[in-house]
Amino acid sequence: MRVEAIHLGPAKAGDLSPVHSAQAVAGKGLEGDRHFKENGAKPGQALTLVEADVVEGAGLPAGATRRQLTVRGTGLNDLIGKRFKVGDVECYGVELCEPCAHLQSMTRPGIITELVHRAGINADILTDGTIAVGDAIAEL
């Protein structure tokens, strides 16, 4: 798997903007994103990832799932309960990132059912570093 796109945004309800790279801070999240917590993110809330094929299959534009990283390749759900690297940044897959009513309100009716168990994963960031488009994702 590889990082195909990164989308960050300061507001929960606002549009996310594509960026080429983001600074990952262990235990806090991605700088410049709405989920970044200076005092520490709750487990599984520092980083979100989704497979590009799922986004495309749902007919959504890049970034519309509101996940920070869109990755090309399969097996993202297999990283739950495992350590993995995104480029040089070590992460830990915490849980599935299930679709919610907020996502449905920003996209279309039925998206929750369509994306259940396929809407990506939530992860912790374990080491500081830069995540960039094109970075490889590999299980440790």
What is the CATH classification number for the domain harbouring 93?
2.40.33.20
Domain count, the chain: 1
Show the tokens assigned to 138. 């590999």
- pLDDT over 70 percentage in the chain: 97
Q: State how far the Cα of 111 lies from the Cα of 34, in Å rounded to an integer.
A: 23
Q: Give the pTM.
A: 0.92
pLDDT exceeds 90 at position 36: yes
Tens of pLDDT, residues 66-119: 899 999 998 999 999 999 999 999 999 999 998 888 787 788 888 888 888 999
Compute the average pLDDT of residues 5-33.
90
